Amino acid sequence: MPQTNTSLVRNLQIISQLVRGEFKLRYKSSLLGYFWTLFKPLMLFGVIYLVFSVFLRSPMQNYAVYLLLGIVLWTFFTEATMTGMNSLTGKRELITKIYFPRQTLVYAATLSSLITLLLNLLIFAVFYFGAGLLPGWASLLFLPYLLLLLLFTTGISLILASLYARFHDLSHIWEVILQILFWITPIVYDLSFVPEQFRAWLYLNPMTQFISFSRRIFLIDQVPSLKQHAVLLAVSLGVFAIGYWFFKKTEYKVAEMI
């Protein structure tokens, strides 16, 4: 047991150091530095809001808050999976010289993106309270949602990192998949605009659940059903478990593949 605790503490220290290094390195040569963390989702938000709220005149109430929350959560997913996918090849020299649990590189990449998400949520809070909205008790569920989103995203990143070490074309494929997923996830529109016979298909995308559930607790103070929460929990834990199993199965090949 003491040896297990020592190993756990060591791994946590490694992850902590990698997270700090990853976050600093990401904006090291950037003129605006950390401000890009806030500007990127805001620029995307501004363009979409202009098109759908001003030009197309969306009838949705509090559309700015609705849209921004979806973009912030989606930005985390895309950034975390992209950086997680590249986490092994980006640390090629480190992997080939010393041994440490390779999955810590993926964990560090996703946790670094989580820091970006938390910063972006501060911007969301400004819009949220600026619109005269106040959170209810249901909003307390947002923290568990973030934890499940982190687990789900990390599981996807573990799979992508393992595959990308061998198939570098995966980065282009994943970018296309993300573009498709963006439009079949209710980020810029509400599920009520989708014909009822197609809504169940959209819910097969876990990001639909994360975004929709978060909007419901913040905007209408409504708690999703216990069954919906059970499905989200099962999917998040299942994807993480599969990602971890797949990564560990191929971990021994990583050094020679990259």
Q: Once rounded to an integer, what is the mean pLDDT over residues 234-250? A: 94
DSSP one-letter string for 125-149: HHHHHHTT----GGGGGHHHHHHHH
28 confidence band (pLDDT: 50, 70, 90) = low
Predicted structure pTM score: 0.86
pLDDT of the residue at 221: 92
Q: Once rounded to an integer, what is the mean pLDDT over residues 123-127? A: 92
1 confidence band (pLDDT: 50, 70, 90) = very low
pLDDT of the residue at 238: 97
Q: What is the pLDDT of residues 149-169, one digit of tens each?
A: 999 999 999 999 999 988 888
Is residue 10's pLDDT more than 90?
Answer: no
Residue spans of the domains in the chain: they are: 2-257
Which structure tokens are listed for 62? 């509090």
Q: Between the CA of residue 56 and those of 46, 65, 158, 182, 187, what are the distances in Å?
A: 14, 17, 40, 19, 16
Average pLDDT, the chain: 84
pLDDT of the residue at 49: 79
Number of neighbouring beta carbons within 10 Å of residue 240: 20
